[in-house]
Amino acid sequence: MSRFWSDVVKGLTPYVPGEQPRLANLVKLNTNENPYGPSPRALDAIRAATGESLKLYPDPNAEQLKLAIGNYHGIDARNIFVGNGSDEVLAHTFLALLKHRRPILFPDISYSFYPVYCGLYQVAFETVPLPDDFSIRVADYAKPNGGIIFPNPNAPTGCLVPLADIEWLLRTNPDSVMVVDEAYVDFGGESAIPLIVRYPNLLVVQTLSKSRSLAGLRVGFAAGHADLIEALERVKNSFNSYPLDRLAIAGAVASYEDRDYFEQTCKAVIASREKLVAELKVLGFEVLPSAANFIFARHPRHDAQESALALRRRGIIVRHFKQPRIEQFLRITVGTDEQCAALAMALREIVGKS
């Protein structure tokens, strides 16, 4: 440990992202990337933005992108904040809206970056245990807090909170900010964005990494009341005035304009997910209900870590978490039908089914 580190850095336990292996010919089902490429219109827009204009700074407010997102969701651009991936948007949210005297609340099994942000910004937090079915019970969050945050669908479980339950919690919890992290909502959920006009304490965060296949571009946004957005803008402009480059803005705008491609690829992922779930259940796996582009599954007679290693030896990578309560689950990204078939065949060998 360096003697030059600050006390904050000494106490940090950084987030560990999913492995990005360099080996060729792998079936990569560990980081929830979309198996289908970005919209061709997005790629064309990125190419068109590559030129002399790169010598100039991008629009610091990314107004064109805010307008595109606003048009898609039917909200005003002033209710939108954009950032370098939803992780940056979430980071600014923790500092701008969740750092208060009372601890914030989030599930004990959830996105593992949340406690990292709390450590970085010294935000007090309390985890709320999920019940045995791994669902999020909103009634468990109806208590004094400095803020509430959870993914919907949850990660890594994939379980969805109905919009009616989210609205109930908003009515029950009017005095602190509630953040709904919708990284995977396009694969089977209903966005809470329409609720921001009625609930000034609601912030909804989304990413273009998953359903829009732009993980490499790093674009995320938040939607909420103008007062919440202003808080995020104040943090952003005290940190980095130009979080989105010209290529990212161009590609993201074009992605929102290509609604047909977006809907087509989401439907393809959902269809592959349901087929994969059925195949794994035949093999004896318990699969949690998923509204995401991944599934969370365990087998009653086979150790999850050993299964993950056995898959890796067959050139297939999935995500295994060592966290208590979920150490016997595998999180499996939904790939193409061909990738899912390769996974199912390998698991058939591993669990001893023909």
CATH top-level class for 40-258?
A: alpha beta
Gap between the Cα atoms of 120 and 253, Å rounded:
32
Quick one: pLDDT at residue 15?
Answer: 78
Q: What percent of the chain has pLDDT over 90?
A: 92
Taking only the tens place, the pLDDT of each residue in 23-32 is 667 899 999 9
CATH assignment of 7-37+260-350? 3.90.1150.10
* Average model confidence (pLDDT) across the chain: 95
Is 32 buried (19+), middle (13-18) or exposed (0-12) by CB count in 10 A? Answer: buried
pTM for the structure as a whole: 0.95
Task: Please name which of 204, 211, 158, 215 lies closest in space to residue 181, comparing C-alpha atoms.
Answer: 204
- The full set of domain ranges for the chain reads 7-37+260-350, 40-258
Taking only the tens place, the pLDDT of each residue in 92-135 is 999 999 999 999 999 999 999 999 999 999 999 999 999 999 99
How far, in Å, are 223, 314, 317 from residue 340 at the CA level?
34, 14, 12
Fold identical between 7-37+260-350 and 40-258? no
Question: What dihedral do alpha carbons 167, 168, 172, 175 form, nearest 10°?
Answer: -10
Q: Tokens for 5?
A: 């580190």
Can you give the three-state secondary structure of 126-149, one letter per residue? Answer: EEECCCCCCCCCHHHHCCCCCCEE
Quick one: DSSP state of residue 258?
A: -
The list of the chain residues with pLDDT below 70 reads 1, 23-24, 353-354
Quick one: pLDDT at residue 354?
Answer: 42
Taking only the tens place, the pLDDT of each residue in 219-244 is 999 999 999 999 999 999 999 999 99
